[in-house]
Amino acid sequence: MLRFAPSPTGDMHIGNLRVAIFNYLVSLQRDEPLTIRIEDTDKERNIEGKDKEILDILGLFGIEYINVTHQSENLKHHRAMTLQLLQEKKAFNCFCTSAVLDQKREASIEAKKPFRYDDSCTNLPAELTIDNMNPFTVRIKKPQSDTEVIDLIKGNITFKADDVDSFIIMRQDKYPTYNFACAVDDMISDISLVIRGEDHVSNTPKQMLVRSALGYNKKVEYAHLPIILNNDGKKMSKRDDASSVKWLLEEGFIPSAIINYLILIGNKVPNEIFTMNEAKEWFDLTKISRAPAKFDMTKLRFINHEHLKMMDSKELSRFVGFADEEIGELAKLFLEEASTLKELRQKIGAVFASKDVADEYKEGVAKLSEVIKNAPFFSEYDEFKKHIMSESGLKGKNLFKPLRIVLSGSENGPDLSALYGHIKNYLGEIVK
Ligand code: GLU
C-alpha cells in the first residue's frame, strides 16, 4: 500500500501535488493501492474545508485512490499504543514544564549544540509518577543504536543513535504528535513505501523508532523528494504564487500540463511532452535527481501550450468554458498567441466584448460596425470583405485595423480570413 498524507492546513503546494503524482505512478507500477490520509491532528493549524479542496484537486488531476481516512479517526489506536509503550517501559511520562525545557533549549543554542532532551524524567521512580497530578507529556525512549533508512532517491542514510532524543509522542492534551501518529498510521495501513518531501527526512528515524518499539518489523522503504526552488534559488513558499496549485489552475494551466511539468523537473525523461499514462510506462522513482528542482514558469507555459495544442476543438471549447465546438476552433486559432486558458478566454472574451477603441480608429470602427450590422450573411471572407469595402468606402490601413478591432477587439492577431471563418455566425452578437 502507498499513501499520500496531506495536512489540511493551507492551499495545496505544487511540491505536495508532485508527491501525490509520484505516489500514484508508483502505485500503478507496483500494482499496489494508494490510500489518502488527511493528517488533521494539529487542531490549531487545520483549516476547515481544506481536506475537501485537496480531494477535489486530486480528482481533477486524475489521481485514483482506494479510500480516504482522517488521522483523527485513529486517535483510539494512538492512545492504546501509547499505553502499550508505557506498560512495556519503552515510553515514560515527562513532567518537565515548557519553561524549563525552553531554558535548556536556549542554553544549548548558546553552547552551539543541537538541543536534545536530557532524559530528566526517563527513569523517575514510580512513586514520583503515579498519583502525580501535574500535567505531563509522554515521551518514547531514545534509540540504543543507529538507524539505517532505505531511501530510493537519496541512497541509504544512517542516523546516529544520538541524532534522535526521547521525543514527545503524546502532548499534555493527550493528542499524538505528528511523528507518532504518522508512524502508527503507516503501520496500521501496512504501507510499503513512503514517498514524501525531503523536509521530512529527519522525521524518518523517529517514525522507525516508534514502529520498532511497537514490535513492528516490516521494512518500510522511503523516497524523499528534493524541494522545488523559485527563481531566486529559494524554497518555493506561500509567497510564490506559482507554489499554489489553485493559483496555477486559476491562471489557466491545465492538469495534464502541470502533471507533465512536475514529472519532468529534476528527472530524466525520454521526451519532453507526455501524459500521466505514458509516464507510467517509463517513470523510475530511483532516477529522480537528488538536487533541488527549479521552477521555471517559461517552461511550464511551453508545456501548457503543447498540451492545449493536443486537444481537439470540442475538448478545448469545454476547457475554455463554452459548449459550442466552433468556439473551440476559434480558441485553436488564438493558440498561436496564447499559452493558457486564461489568455484564451481573454482573447475570446475580447471578440464579444464592447470594443475599447483608440481615438484614431474610432470613426472607422463606428462606420464598419454599422455596415456589418446591415450586411447580409457571407460564407466567404473575400465576399464579406468586398461588401464591407464598397459599403464603407474604406480601404488599406483605414479598413483593416478598424476591421480587426471590430472583429477581434484587438489591434493584432490571427489572419482575418481564418478568424472570419469561425466568427461569421456570431457577427450579430459581435457588433451589437
Ligand atoms: N502531513 C505531512 C505534510 O503534509 C506529510 C507527512 C508524510 O507524508 O509523512 O507535510
CB 51 within 8 A of CB 70: yes
* Cell output for 264: 519532468
Residue among 343, 352, 41, 45 nearest 185 (CA): 41
Alpha-carbon distance of 270 to 263, in angstroms, equals 12
| Structure confidence at residue 133 (pLDDT) | 83
| Structure confidence at residue 161 (pLDDT) | 95
- Let me know the angle formed at the C-alpha of 328 by 325 and 331, rounded to the nearest 5 degrees: 160
Reported pTM: 0.93
Gap from CA of 201 to ligand 1 centroid (Å): 11
Gap from CA of 308 to ligand 1 centroid (Å): 33
Question: Which CATH code for domain 2-70+228-296?
Answer: 3.40.50.620
Of all atoms in ligand 1, which is nearest to the CA of residue 207?
Answer: 9
Residues 6+ apart with CB under 8 A from 368: 388, 392, 394, 399, 402, 403, 406
Q: Three-class SS of residue 34? A: strand
Following CA atoms 420, 426, 427, 432 in sequence, which dihedral angle do they give, to the nearest 10 degrees?
-150
| Structure confidence at residue 344 (pLDDT) | 97
- Mean pLDDT, consecutive 10-residue stretches, the chain (432 aa), reads 97 97 98 98 91 97 98 97 97 96 96 94 85 91 96 96 96 95 98 97 98 96 96 92 96 98 96 97 97 96 98 94 88 96 96 91 95 96 96 93 96 94 94 86
Ligand 1 binding pocket includes 404 (Cβ within 6 Å)? no
Count the Cβ atoms, other than its own, within 10 Å of residue 59.
Answer: 12
Please state the φ and ψ torsions of residue 91, each to the nearest 5 degrees: -140, 165
Ligand 1 binding pocket includes 351 (Cβ within 6 Å)? no
Give 123: exposed, middle or buried? Use CB within 10 Å, 0-12, 13-18, 19+.
exposed
Gap from CA of 121 to ligand 1 centroid (Å): 30
The residue whose CA is least distant from atom 4 of ligand 1 is: 6
Ligand 1 binding pocket includes 200 (Cβ within 6 Å)? yes
DSSP state of 146: -
| Structure confidence at residue 338 (pLDDT) | 97
**At residue 298, what is the residue type?**
T
Gap from CA of 196 to ligand 1 centroid (Å): 7
b/e sequence 376-387, b meaning 16+ C-beta within 10 Å: eebeebeebbee
CB 263 within 8 A of CB 279: yes
Domain boundaries 354-430, CATH class? mainly alpha
Ligand 1 binding pocket includes 196 (Cβ within 6 Å)? yes
Gap from CA of 105 to ligand 1 centroid (Å): 26
Alpha-carbon distance of 402 to 365, in angstroms, equals 5
Gap from CA of 413 to ligand 1 centroid (Å): 47
b/e sequence 92-120, b meaning 16+ C-beta within 10 Å: bbbbbeeeebeeeeeeeeeeeeeebbeee
Ligand 1 binding pocket includes 39 (Cβ within 6 Å)? yes
